[in-house]
Structure 1
Amino acid sequence: MEVFDLIGPLYRRVQRAVEQGAQGTRSAQGEQALSVGVRAVLDLLHKHGPMTVPQMGRAQAISRQFVQRMVNDAVARDLVESIPNPAHRRSSLIRLTEEGRAAIAAVVAREHAVLREVGGDLTDADVRTCVRVLAQMLTLFDGVDVN
């Protein structure tokens, strides 16, 4: 339970910091910074390739409606595009555009630079153990309906 007691506040603080850091900032290309929701969509597509909106919702354990709003925002900014889905006529695949690939690459690079400063006296083994524990906890709750 101590892990859960820490994860919630940590997540909310990081999310708030990302949003506050994004407000009013612009990338080197002069584009408005990404919201946390749009960033999450771009990150999923960057890691997994084209996906449907329902697939993204399940992957993030959030509602399809919220993902659709984020996809709509990303489409309006030319960061993603809809393409035909050979497996399902009515559920298009969403994929990154060149602008989307560049945007998520820049965001991830900036985040990694900041996170490298967090280390303190943590070792690589500490971080690997933390990731293993959190992944196991996530697996434990796979299939739990959050809607």
Structure 2
Amino acid sequence: MPLRARQDLLSRTALGVFRLNGQFLAVSEELARPAGLTAAWWQVLGAVLREPLPVAGIARAMGITRQSVQRIADLLAAKGLAEYVPNPAHRRAKLLRPTEAGREAIGRITPGHASLATRLAEELGDAAFAETVRVLNRLTKALDAVAEPRTDA
């Protein structure tokens, strides 16, 4: 494939992902608002629902800066939606976990989230929906791989 065609594919992929990001942010804000959350608060709380994580771990999982997560985590803690607990693996890097109020807020999002998931599955079809997840994961891994410093340069 000619270089120009590859550049076009990269540009079209990036623009599509940027648009998709904007769409997901708008939908997430709508889903989170009735629970008294923002999309960013929901994202951080969602990252620690299964297990407490340090702020740096949340940032890595979300692909954003540690400082952004720290600001949101501090707000969530101040509002009683999350709390910091000791980290047995690192004295200074506390773990963030949701409080019961945080879990309840996330629970209020669940019906709208389930409805959106159902509508998307109906629009795409279950197989195509699952394939979309696989393709996005592949793209993420590929970008991670090409972003690593090259040893052959």
State the TM-score bracket (shorter-chain normalisation): 0.7 to 0.9
Percent identity for Structure 1 against Structure 2: 30
Segments ≥4 residues shifted beyond 6 Å: none
Partner AA of 1:6 in structure 2: G
Give the structure with higher Rg (CA): 2
- 2:83–2:98: 8 Å Cα contact kept in structure 1? yes
Q: Secondary structure of the equivalent of 1:107?
A: helix
1:10 to 10, 16, 20: 20
- 1:46–1:104: 8 Å Cα contact kept in structure 2? no
Q: TM-score of the superposition, structure 2-length normalised?
A: 0.78
Q: Secondary structure of the equivalent of 1:88?
A: coil
Shift in Å, 1:112? 2.0
Q: Secondary structure of the equivalent of 2:53?
A: coil
- 2:31–2:109: 8 Å Cα contact kept in structure 1? no
Bigger share in helix: 2
C-alpha distance in structure 2 between counterparts of 1:123 and 1:26, whole Å: 28
User: Structure 2 regions of 5+ residues with no counterpart?
Assistant: 1-8, 149-153
1:79 to 59, 81, 85: 81
C-alpha distance in structure 1 between counterparts of 2:114 and 2:16, whole Å: 21
- 1:80–1:94: 8 Å Cα contact kept in structure 2? yes
Aligned residues: 137
Shift in Å, 1:137? 0.9
C-alpha distance in structure 2 between counterparts of 1:63 and 1:101, whole Å: 24
Q: TM-score of the superposition, structure 1-length normalised?
A: 0.81
The corresponding residue for 2:124 is 122
The corresponding residue for 2:104 is 102
The corresponding residue for 1:30 is none
1:42 to 39, 45, 50: 45
C-alpha distance in structure 2 between counterparts of 1:18 and 1:70, whole Å: 16
Q: Does 1:135 align with 2:145?
A: no
Q: Secondary structure of the equivalent of 2:52?
A: coil
What is the aligned-residue RMSD (CA, Å)? 2.1
Q: Secondary structure of the equivalent of 1:90?
A: coil
